[in-house]
Amino acid sequence: MTAFPSLREFITALDRAGELVRVRAPFSSALEIAALADLAMKSPGGGKALLFENVDGGTIPVLVNAFGSRRRLELALGRRALEEIPRRIQALLRTAPPRSVGDALRLLPRLFELKGVLPRRHRGQAPCQEVVRKGEAVDLTQLPVLQCWPGDGGRFITFPCVFTRGPDGGPQNVGMYRLQIYDRNTTGMHWHIHKDGSVAHRDHARSGRRMEVAVAIGTDPVVTYCATAPLPHGVDEMMLAGFIRRKPVEMVPCVSVDLKVPASAEIVLEGYVDPGEERIEGPFGDHTGVYSPAEPYPVFHVTAVTQRRDPIYFATVVGIPPMEDEWLGLATERIFLPLLNTQWPEVTEMHLPPAGVFHNLALLGVDKLYPFQARRLFQGLWGAGQMSFTKILVAVDPEVEVCDPRAAARAVLDGLRVPEGLAVTDGVLDALDHASPQALWGGKLGLDATRPLPGEPGHGISPPEGAVAPSPQQLHAELVGAYPNLRACHLPLPEARLHLALLVVDKQHPGEGARLAEAALGIRGVDVAVAVQGTAADDLPLLAWRALSSVDPGRDVRVLGRKVAVDATFKGPAEGHHRTWPAELLHPAAAREKAVGAARDIGLIR
């Protein structure tokens, strides 16, 4: 690929490829931009990248949805990047030490490629430091920072590349942690307890020292992606960026802190986080599709702002899938599969469906060699890096197309043996998981739908054929008398061996979802019943997202003989859930109406 040296070269390429729409009508950074961006992200194929050129009456344009389709993602990372980058990683991992001069000569091209991995110092005036403001001249309120949802606690920087370093030096780390604007020179610093930035902050706090921080906004697309990448602790993400780009990232020392940032960034915030200082941050409409709660987080004091003379503000909007972050997740899924294979070579394929919002569901193609290998894999992944936060792991045979949701679901329903194929345990969860009775840990579910090997339960025995599935209308008619809040029934795969019934209920009473799911199992032809909150108008992708985000396997999954009942409805204190259940994200009517009108004007919708 030809690496884009800056965000603006990427914008030019998007424009030439017909992937960019310039929005010249006035738009507010408070709610209006987010509403149109959300509409574009949910359009067929991910819509278009949007460059808002008239924001709040100011002169700083705002770019959103730049990664929001496969074509734009591959333009950002390189043509056929999702196939070529994993192959390059595999080639490096399989490199054997040279045993002869000939071997060494054949290795030279690969070693030459690695020269481009390490970042290098930028020479001359750095574009990100064309304008420098310090002290009283710092004013973050002059940036067109977005408020994305009406329940947000304020305006949030959503695409920041946050550079930190441990108190004893060592390599820099860059992560993507949202920043809530408090006032002209302070923000929240929302790094979760398990993130590298938070680890470095704790190490600084132990020594009683403040931690220097630099935040780059509007970096080139590869650097922006790499800030989201789940690299092992202590590995510099700029090395991954150099590897993907086949060209080093040019870095420049900050003007007031001992950190380096990409020289081509649009805007850089420099400052510090003090040990022990916290402030309430949030709520925030998150990638989970609901509001993450207002909680205490560290405070980032901005002591200097550097920028280009004519900066572009780079942002994203997250919410109920599908959204732009789906495509960044796809890149991670493809790029990191070879690294997963080094520890678990039996994994032939992996998919993180958008409905699972990265940490609720992972589908795995598994080539088993011995009994209970899928169970071993579940246990290993639940103890490994970012995969440890995954709530539900599903193993299917290697020939299954796990990236095809319908094919994967059919394979699970055809292959799963109840109860032998279910593994329920407790473990760590993502900090944003709201379904568990307590924060940071809860129930985990493993579904082994692979063919049994010799020595495994069910080997050599054909699973019993079930009864014919009822129609959705029959199922609804049999249940609605006892459960008048039942709004709709779906049987999405009636041809499968196990019949899944999705029961959409407007839950009004504690325990209603669990009772409904168990009652459905008493109806001939229903093998798996999932009660989910919703209305008759909700489509299957929305219901799948809501079910995955609302279930705690340890509390909500019940095996009854060879059938399974799942209560994936919202929970309250009467059901042992004393945490506040968050509201789903919805744009205000005025912002939605303006977004629809603008989308028609620019040709996004008809």
Closest by Cα among 180, 384, 173 to 286? 180
CA–CA separation, 41 vs 46, rounded Å? 5
325-448 folds as UbiD C-terminal domain-like (3.40.1670)
Closest by Cα among 545, 604, 597 to 41: 604
Residue 406 tokens, joined: 């319908």
Confidence grade of residue 97 (pLDDT, cut at 50, 70, 90): low
DSSP class of residue 570 equals: -
Mean pLDDT across 350-363: 96
* Residue labelled with tokens 């080094």: 342
Lowest mean pLDDT among 114-128, 160-174, 350-364: 114-128
- What distance in Å separates the CA atoms of residue 465 and residue 583, rounded to the nearest whole number? 41
Parse the chain into domains and list their residue ranges: 7-81+114-314, 325-448, 472-575
What is the structure's pLDDT at 194? 79
Q: Is 286 a catalytic residue?
A: yes
Report which of 463, 579, 557 is spatially closest to residue 513, judged by C-alpha positions: 557
pTM over 0.75: yes
Predicted pLDDT at 469: 94
Select from 550, 517, 521 the least CA-distant residue to 533.
550
Just give the CATH number of 472-575. Answer: 3.40.1670.10
Return the CA Rg of the chain. Answer: 25
Please check the confidence at residue 102 and state whether its pLDDT lies above 70. no
% residues pLDDT > 70 (the chain):
96
pLDDT digit string, tens, across residues 5-27: 999 999 999 999 999 999 999 99
DSSP state of 231: P
- Topology (CATH level 3) of domain 7-81+114-314: Pnp Oxidase; Chain A (2.30.110)
Res 3: pLDDT? 79
Average pLDDT over every residue of 379-408: 95
Distances from the Cα of 332 to the Cαs of 183, 274, 409, 548, in angstroms?
34, 32, 22, 21
**pLDDT tens-digit readout, 476-523:** 999 999 999 999 999 999 999 999 999 999 999 999 999 999 999 999
Which tens digits make up the pLDDT trace of 256-298?
A: 999 999 999 999 999 999 998 999 999 999 999 999 999 999 9
The most distant pair of C-alpha atoms in the chain lies apart, rounded to whole Å, by: 81
Count Cα neighbours of 580 within 13 Å in the Cβ-side half-sphere. 10
Q: What residue type is assigned to position 95 of the chain?
A: T
Q: What's the pLDDT score for residue 128?
A: 98
Question: What pLDDT, on the 0 to 100 scale, is given for residue 169?
Answer: 82
108 vs 374 pLDDT, higher one: 374
Asked if 189 contacts 298 with a C-beta cutoff of 8 angstroms, the reply is yes
Look at residue 107 in the predicted model and tell me its pLDDT: 45
CA 395, CA 289: separation in Å to the nearest integer? 26
Dump strand ranges (E) for 254-402. 260-262, 267-281, 284-285, 291-292, 295-307, 313-314, 347-351, 361-366, 392-396
> Which range has the worst mean pLDDT, 179-183, 290-294, 340-344?
340-344
Over residues 428-461, the pLDDT tens digits come to 999 999 999 999 999 999 999 999 999 999 898 8
Nearest to 434 by CA among 289, 587, 281: 289
- Which pair of structure tokens corresponds to residue 517? 């799911």
Whether the predicted pLDDT of 109 surpasses 60: no
Mean pLDDT over all residues of the chain? 93
pLDDT at position 310: 97
Q: Which of 286, 325, 433, 527 is catalytic?
A: 286
CATH topology agreement for domains 7-81+114-314 and 472-575: no
